[in-house]
Structure 1
Amino acid sequence: MIETREPVIVAFPLRGEWLSPNTPGTKIPSHGTNQLGTRYAYDFIQVDWDRKGWPAYRVSLPHYLLFGVPLNEYYCWGQEVYAPCNGIVIQAKDGYEEQARTNLLSDMSNAYKNAHYFNPEKDDVQSVAGNYIIIECGDNVYAALVHLQTGSIQVSVGQSVKKGEVIGRVGHSGNSFAPHLHFQLMDSSDIATANGLPCAFEQYEVFQDGAWKIVVNGIPTNKDRIKFQKSDMKME
């Protein structure tokens, strides 16, 4: 399938260094499906670049496999999430409880169930999305920021937000293998029926050949070590 639509350009919704293990910069659909508006979706995690395998948690791999990991042992859990555009908050769903720790088997089982048996006509979107925010960024362009930390959402429906404003924190709610930010653009505010829209980020840095290099209107791959700082943000 030939992709013909130009990506919508938005601001990077996080600060600091990140990795995108699922990104349209590597494959489309980025999450293996077009359902729930995820065709061009991104997942963002923080990792230890100096440890083998780039783990997203502070404990050892055997500890993760045998006992799971408390959420506060993940580097990205609780990191601030920022509005990617100027817009209006269309949905802001909070109160969906996170599991206290990750567990590989139960998280895989939950992911399989949601991927194969989720019915948008009767199932609650929060069982997949957890706590989430949807912002109307423009005509038929809606940004979804998903799996947020319970109790962290700082905006309400109908509120105007500015690009770069703190709106919540990275969490592990809903259908989530581990704490991360799931980010996508859609043509509708209804996650259950929306189509995904291609998206690029107006500016960030990528670490290449021992140095940070600025990328403009870029789409990171799943190997890119990317960084965005507040001082990098274009002011309007």
Structure 2
Amino acid sequence: MHRFLAVAAAGLLGAACGAAAATEPPRESFDLRVRFAPAVYPVGGHATLVYELELNNYTADTLEPTAVAVIDADRGEELLRYEAAELAQHLDRSGLQRPVADGGGIASGRRGIVFVELTLPPRRPLPKQLRHRVDYRVAATTSAAHTVEGGEVAVRSKPVTVLGPPLRGGPWVAVYDPSWERGHRRVVFAVDGKARTPGRHAADWVRVDETGRKQRGDGHRAADTYSYGEDVLAVADGTVVKVRNDLPERQLLTERAKHDLATGSGNVVALDIGGGRFAYYGHLRTGSVRVRVGQRVRKGETIAQVGFSGSASDPQLHFHLGDAPDALAAEGLPFVFDRFRALGRYGDIAKLGRQVWLSLDDGMPDERKREMPVGNGVVEFGK
């Protein structure tokens, strides 16, 4: 009796599944995955989340994403949608941080990466969990777009790290832009069996004068720039865990040099500031590092000078916060500065060094507290 009922139930279940399969056949799609959970932090006065959504294609076909949406998983509210030109700007279809033709699909066995920069409206409750919706089509067919949802990720609730300034005075330009194909934001390294994005929140700092010029007169030497030789400061109390001080520098701004992974950052200092957080400084002036491994430093203490070592395009300070002391084997962490004065922004970074910056016109006071400058923003730190 029980065997009969079981067989009958199995038959009914099979029939039901068969009917469902007839109307909604299974379909392969992207595997959606967020490798490193984002945290909310203020940029230009707005709550912001910065992270990467991976579109992994395990199918035999090329899949072409047509829209990507970020959803508040608890509220079911769409927070952000990329499509058309915006999607092309935020999507790396190659998975290799290399240019590919806009509108192309993600080939079988490859991974695309959506670089998400989510700015939340004022006074909106912060999301606790995110989900993603991707519209796509099979490139070899003319079928309508399909949709897949997934890539659930919890938003990190730990308070963002507040740092002191890495430099004095100004004006300093925080050079970073999420849209640059080979900028810090878009480079993934897998150096020890794990992929990471160390420069997720990194910036290169370049000093300019009141007219926006980077060097004195028509000087062509590194020493002619306003950045070169400026003091580099400890952003927090901490312990020195890494130092390099002997790599040579280029003397002329027109000189170019190739560097491998070990020397690309040039002369460096890394500070352990506690809580699994490490402050990383790069491109330092040869011989200028004043600290040694194991030494305790205090916030605001001079630890080195800005230089032209490594793969820097100009004399500049590279700075980021990571979860490990290594430049590459670390996930980049968000941070804010305790205070600075916002002067403006370069809408076109090609004008840096040639023209004065533009006004922010964001209706906010110039004096900022506990936030990160906007991309290519011009700021002044305390003396």
Q: Do these two structures clear the TM 0.5 threshold for a shared fold by scoring above it? A: yes
Q: Secondary structure at the match of 2:264?
A: helix
Structure 2 partner of 1:227: 380
The residue aligned with 1:56 is 214
Question: 1:101 Cα deviation (Å)?
Answer: 1.1
**Equivalent-residue separation in structure 2 for 1:27 and 1:40 (angstroms):** 13
- Give the deviation of 1:212 after TM superposition: 7.5
Could you tell me how far 1:23 is from its partner in structure 2? Answer: 5.7
Number of the residue aligned with 2:201: 40
**Counterpart position of 1:132:** 268
For residues 200 and 217 of structure 2, the distance between their equivalents in structure 1, rounded to whole angstroms, comes to: 32
Q: Pairwise CA RMSD of aligned residues? A: 2.6
Counterparts of 1:100-139 in structure 2, within 5 Å, are: 100-103=251-254, 106=256, 110=258, 118=260, 123=261, 125=262, 127-139=263-275
Kindly name which structure, 1 or 2, has the bigger radius of gyration based on alpha carbons: 2
Residue type at the aligned position of 1:32: R
Shift in CA distance, 175/217, structure 1 to aligned 2, threshold 3 Å: same
Match of 2:42 in 1: none
Aligned AA (1:194): A
Task: State the number of aligned residues.
Answer: 204
Map Cα deviations across residues 89-112 of structure 1 (whole Å, 9 max, x no partner).
0011101110111226x35xx3xx
Per-residue displacement from partner, 1:106-149 (whole Å, max 9, x unpaired)? 35xx3xxx6xxx5xxxx5x2x21111000001121000011000
TM-aligned CA distance change 1:172 to 1:188, over 3 Å: same
Deviations 1:40-94 (A, max 9, x none): 10110111332xxx3312244xx7xxxxx21111111000000001010001110
Residue 16 (structure 1) shift: 0.8
**Deviations 1:156-202, CA, capped at 9 Å, x for gaps:** 00000000000000001011111000000011112231111111111
Shift of 1:225: 2.4
Q: Answer 1 or 2: higher relative contact order, Cα 8 Å, separation at least 6.
A: 1
Contact kept in structure 2, 1:23 and 1:43, CA below 8 Å = no
Residue 109 of structure 2 aligns with which residue?
none
Between Structure 1 and Structure 2, which shows a larger proportion of helix residues? 1
What's the counterpart of residue 325 of structure 2? 189
Contact 2:272 2:278 in 1 (8 A): yes
SS in 2 for 1:171: coil
Read off the aligned partner of 1:94 and give its amino acid letter: N
Q: 2:115 maps to which residue? A: none
How far apart in 2 are the matches of 1:58 and 1:151? 24
The one-letter amino acid paired with 2:267 is: N
Distance 2:277 2:233 in 1: 17
Match of 1:86 among 220, 237, 242: 237
Cα distance in 2 for partners of 1:23, 1:216 equals 22
Where structure 1 has 5 or more consecutive residues not aligned to the other structure, the ranges are 64-68, 231-236
Rounded to whole Å, the distance in 2 between the matches of 1:212 and 1:143 is: 28
What is the CA-CA distance between 1:223 and the residue it aligns to? Answer: 4.3
Match of 1:15 among 168, 188, 195: 168
**Partners of 2:321 and 2:286 in 1: CA distance:** 22
- Contact 2:223–2:251 (8 Å) recurs in 1: no
SS in 1 for 2:279: strand
* Uncovered stretches (5+) of structure 2, i.e. residues with no partner: 1-33, 35-48, 51-154, 190-196, 345-358
What is the rounded CA distance, in whole Å, between the counterparts of 1:9 and 1:27 in structure 2?
26
**1:220 alignment partner, SS class:** coil
State TM-score, norm by structure 1: 0.77
| Structure 1 residues 42 and 82, CA gap change in structure 2 (3 angstroms) | same
* C-alpha contact (below 8 Å) 1:153/1:168 kept by paired residues: yes
Question: What is the TM-score when the length of structure 2 is the normalising length?
Answer: 0.49
Tell me whether 204-213 or 85-94 shows the greater mean CA deviation.
204-213
What is the Cα deviation at residue 27 of structure 1? 8.1
Would the aligned equivalents of 1:23 and 1:41 in 2 still touch at CA under 8 Å? no
**Residue 58 of structure 1: SS of its match in structure 2?**
coil
Hey, what does 1:234 align to over in structure 2?
none
Structure 1 CA distance for aligned equivalents of residues 302 and 313 of structure 2:
24
CA 1:136–1:27: 2 relative to 1, 3 Å: farther
Closer, same or farther in 2 for the Cα pair 1:197/1:34, shift >3 Å? farther
Q: Which aligned pairs between 1:162-177 and structure 2 lie closer than 5 A?
A: 162-177=298-313
Name the amino acid aligned to 1:225: V
**Contact between 2:204 and 2:319, CA under 8 Å: does it hold in 1?**
yes
